[in-house]
Amino acid sequence: MSQLTVKNHNRDVIGFKYIYPVISRRSGGLSIGINFNTNNACNWACVYCQVPDLSIGAAPEVDLGLLARELSDFLQDVLHGDFYDRFEIERDKRVIKDIAISGNGEPTSVKKFNRVLQVIIERVEQANIPDPFQYVLITNGSLMHKPDVQKGLQLFNRYKGQVWFKVDTATEAGRSLINQTAISTQQQQENLMLSASLCATWVQTCVLSYAGHEQDSLLSKPEQAAYLVLLEKVLQNTKLEGVMLYSVARPSLQAQANSISSVKEAQLEEMAGKVRLLGLQVRVSV
């Protein structure tokens, strides 16, 4: 049995297919992760990704019965069992902070996304969690055009859920380098506005140092300027909850790993100051 900490995110630690616990540095407690992408497939291939054997693709069909049983069993273990003791969770982290739909790829690529969310919410609500937890969807936002995804966000919104929408860069060159996707800036902007119009949305941005490519990361002034312009344009049309700025905390498992490193907190705070001038709340974590 291993101790769970903010640097240990072993998704097989409880032996379930879909459910995994994380002690989250951003949330400050237990994040109950839900992984639809059990095949380690994603439609992006971010260079800092910690998923092993990452492949390009979509999530497989979810076994809804198994998902429901695993979620119910784990919630019972946390709320009424000895989960916190078994995994030596620090006392101040023994609180459910969120139910996070994330995992080993893009979660909105799963079939029947809205129905899967319904099953999750039904089981969570039945558990009567006493902690003031948050529903969270962590996404690259690239599939916001799908009607089923939009229905899922509307459902999430009814339960005061949040979307954490990945924007690591606001240029085609930056996305090609960091996220290895060809999505256009215009499409990224439209997807972000659509997300924010359907559900409370935070922008989440990983700021990293990529050896030899500093001009295409948020460490460069042109990239920072493009990022701020994107946020400003979105704010002209809809509301954002804020921005989460963070850097890499665990090693990448991609081919570019040796070129990737974290940035200093002072660099994140400098960027945060520029974002705050737009009137947005900013959370910084390293």
Q: How confident is the model at residue 212, as a pLDDT?
A: 85
Q: Please give the backbone phi and psi of residue 265, each rounded to the nearest 5 degrees, phi first.
A: -60, -35
**Domains of the chain and any CATH numbers:** 19-285 (3.20.20.70)
Q: How confident is the model at residue 218, as a pLDDT?
A: 85
Q: Helices marked H in 37-162 — which ranges?
A: 64-80, 83-86, 113-127, 147-158
- Enclosing H/E stretch for 191: helix 185-198
**Could you tell me if 178 and 47 are in contact, meaning their C-beta atoms sit under 8 angstroms apart?**
yes
Distance between CA atoms of 43 and 40, rounded to whole angstroms?
10
Q: How confident is the model at residue 73, as a pLDDT?
A: 98
Q: How confident is the model at residue 278, as a pLDDT?
A: 98
Q: How confident is the model at residue 2, as a pLDDT?
A: 61
Reported pTM = 0.94
Q: What is the pLDDT along the chain (286 residues), one digit of tens a residue?
A: 566 655 555 556 789 999 999 987 666 799 999 999 999 999 999 999 999 999 999 999 999 999 999 999 999 999 999 999 999 999 999 999 999 999 899 999 999 999 999 999 999 999 999 989 999 999 999 999 999 999 999 999 999 999 999 999 999 999 999 999 999 999 999 999 999 999 999 999 999 999 988 777 788 999 999 999 999 999 999 999 999 999 998 889 999 999 999 999 999 999 999 999 999 999 998 7
